[in-house]
């Protein structure tokens, strides 16, 4: 075992002591559901800081809140809660579809949205549906005896596998997105090596407003085809303002394949990943056109 020893375990119920622990020299390792952290520390690919900070009891970090114009997912909202949310089924069906295809019931009950984003895996399943919602992450820190809060578009948050724009003293406290307006459609697709407990080989989400048969404010996002989850900007441009006919669908399929930057790895070849991007793009667009 190459993991370092945890010297202090903290499980505060208020945000301030949690942020204060992160602000100390040496900081703290944040523990939410532990479904990424535990395997990583056990495998020796990640070391604990001297302080382990369990954030699951911190008031105000849990749950899904309807704020009228915006929807707020607290950082410790679990994948199961997303899956069971009637509000999200109505306003963000692709996010619920991603939660449905996520791991197993046991993992879904522990895994949190904050952990999924902060782990910054290119295969993070909640990222593509949140990217097509133009979601923002809320980051809090304790600096100079005061709490600081900033928001960043999720599209800018990821830097590389395991790396984000979050500073070590910052806690991701929430993910927030504007309530989608009338006519919003969204879809999610994911492929993995087996039917259950699968890490995505490729995932794709689409979000757009469908008005008079044309797509507006089109967002397409891809997972597992680049070092980070990403917006497929060429595919979005190919669809913006277009009627969903065969020509537009073919243009979007070709553009999405150009947006993807897949690699060969143990789970799939780059060729197969590119193929899945084409298939999923075509599938979701036909699905929207026919329904
Ligand atoms: C068997 C198995 C199957 C899986 N299947 C899937 C799957 O289908 N799809 C998928 O996307 N993922 C999958 N995962 C990965 C994992 O379950 C998810 O990424 C999960 O959402 C991580 O959340 P967590 O709360 O468990 O994070 P943790 O493991 O607690 O934390 C993950 C990382 O984020 C940091 N962190 C957590 N919360 C915060 C916060 N609020 N602020 C700052 N830093 C924070 C931690 O310090 C750690 O570095 C699977 C994992 C396992 C073991």
pLDDT score of 2? 35
How many angstroms separate the alpha carbon of residue 109 from the centre of ligand 1?
12
pLDDT score of 265? 83
pLDDT tens digits, one per residue of 50-109: 999 999 999 999 999 999 999 999 999 999 999 999 999 999 999 999 999 999 999 999
- pTM equals 0.96
How many angstroms separate the alpha carbon of residue 117 from the centre of ligand 1?
8
How many angstroms separate the alpha carbon of residue 36 from the centre of ligand 1?
4
The finding on whether 124 has its CB within 6 A of some atom of ligand 1 is yes
How many angstroms separate the alpha carbon of residue 240 from the centre of ligand 1?
34
Report whether pLDDT(1) > 50: no
Residues 6 or more apart whose Cβ sits within 8 Å of residue 71: 64, 65, 87, 88, 91, 92, 176, 177, 178, 179
State the closest ligand 1 atom to the C-alpha of 61, by its place in the atom list counted from 1.
Answer: 41
Report whether pLDDT(206) > 50: yes
- Strands 171-178 vs 70-74: parallel, antiparallel or unpaired: antiparallel
- 197: region left, alpha or beta (phi > 0 left; psi from -120 to 50 alpha): left
Average pLDDT, the chain: 94
Q: Which CATH class is domain 64-178?
A: alpha beta
As a whole number of angstroms, the distance between CA 220 and CA 132 comes to 6
State the closest ligand 1 atom to the C-alpha of 79, by its place in the atom list counted from 1.
Answer: 21
pLDDT score of 195? 59
Residue 3 pLDDT level (bands cut at 50, 70, 90): very low
Q: Per-residue b/e over 34-71, b at no fewer than 16 CB within 10 Å? A: bbbbeeebeeeebebbebbbbbbebeebbebbeeeeeb
pLDDT score of 193? 64
The finding on whether 37 has its CB within 6 A of some atom of ligand 1 is yes
How many angstroms separate the alpha carbon of residue 275 from the centre of ligand 1?
28
The finding on whether 223 has its CB within 6 A of some atom of ligand 1 is no
Residues 6 or more apart whose Cβ sits within 8 Å of residue 192: 198, 199, 200, 201
Domain coordinates in residue numbering, the chain: 8-54, 64-178, 184-290
Q: What is the mean pLDDT of residues 217-230?
A: 96
pLDDT tens digits, one per residue of 6-49: 999 999 999 999 999 999 999 999 999 999 999 999 999 999 99
The finding on whether 247 has its CB within 6 A of some atom of ligand 1 is no
The finding on whether 103 has its CB within 6 A of some atom of ligand 1 is yes
As a whole number of angstroms, the distance between CA 27 and CA 55 comes to 14
The finding on whether 41 has its CB within 6 A of some atom of ligand 1 is no
pLDDT score of 23? 97
Q: What is the mean pLDDT of residues 224-246?
A: 96
pLDDT tens digits, one per residue of 91-101: 999 999 999 99
Q: Whose CA is nearest to atom 46 of ligand 1?
A: 30
How many angstroms separate the alpha carbon of residue 234 from the centre of ligand 1?
30
State the closest ligand 1 atom to the C-alpha of 126, by its place in the atom list counted from 1.
Answer: 11
Residue reference for tokens 């949310």: 85
| CATH label, 184-290, candidates 3.30.420.130, 3.40.50.2020, 3.30.390.50, 3.40.50.300 | 3.30.390.50
């Amino acid at each position: 075992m190459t993991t370092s020893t945890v010297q202090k375990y903290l499980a505060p119920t208020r945000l301030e002591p949690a942020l204060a622990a992160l602000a100390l020299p040496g900081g703290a390792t944040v523990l939410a559901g532990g479904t990424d952290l535990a395997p990583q520390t056990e495998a020796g690919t990640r070391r604990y800081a001297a302080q382990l900070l369990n954030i699951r009891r911190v008031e105000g970090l849990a749950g899904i809140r309807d704020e009228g114009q915006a929807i707020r997912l607290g950082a410790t909202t679990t994948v199961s809660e997303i899956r069971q949310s009637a509000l999200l089924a109505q306003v963000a069906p692709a996010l619920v579809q991603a939660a449905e295809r996520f791991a197993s019931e046991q993992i879904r009950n522990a895994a949190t949205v904050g952990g999924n984003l902060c782990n910054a895996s290119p295969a993070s399943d909640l990222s593509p549906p949140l990217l097509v919602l133009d979601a923002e992450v809320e980051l809090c820190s304790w600096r100079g005896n005061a709490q600081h809060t900033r928001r960043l578009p999720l599209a800018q948050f990821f830097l590389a596998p395991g790396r984000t724009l979050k500073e070590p003293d910052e806690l991701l406290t929430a993910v927030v997105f504007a309530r989608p307006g009338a006519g919003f459609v969204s879809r999610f697709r994911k492929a993995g090596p087996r039917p259950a407990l699968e890490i995505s080989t490729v995932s794709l989400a689409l979000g757009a407003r469908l008005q008079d048969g044309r797509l507006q404010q089109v967002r397409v996002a891809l997972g597992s085809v680049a070092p980070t989850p990403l917006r497929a900007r060429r595919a979005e441009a190919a669809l913006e303002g277009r009627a969903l006919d065969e020509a537009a669908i073919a243009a979007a399929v070709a553009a999405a394949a150009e947006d993807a930057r897949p690699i060969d790895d143990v789970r799939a070849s780059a060729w197969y990943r590119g193929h899945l991007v084409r298939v999923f793009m075509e599938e979701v667009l036909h699905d929207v056109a026919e329904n």
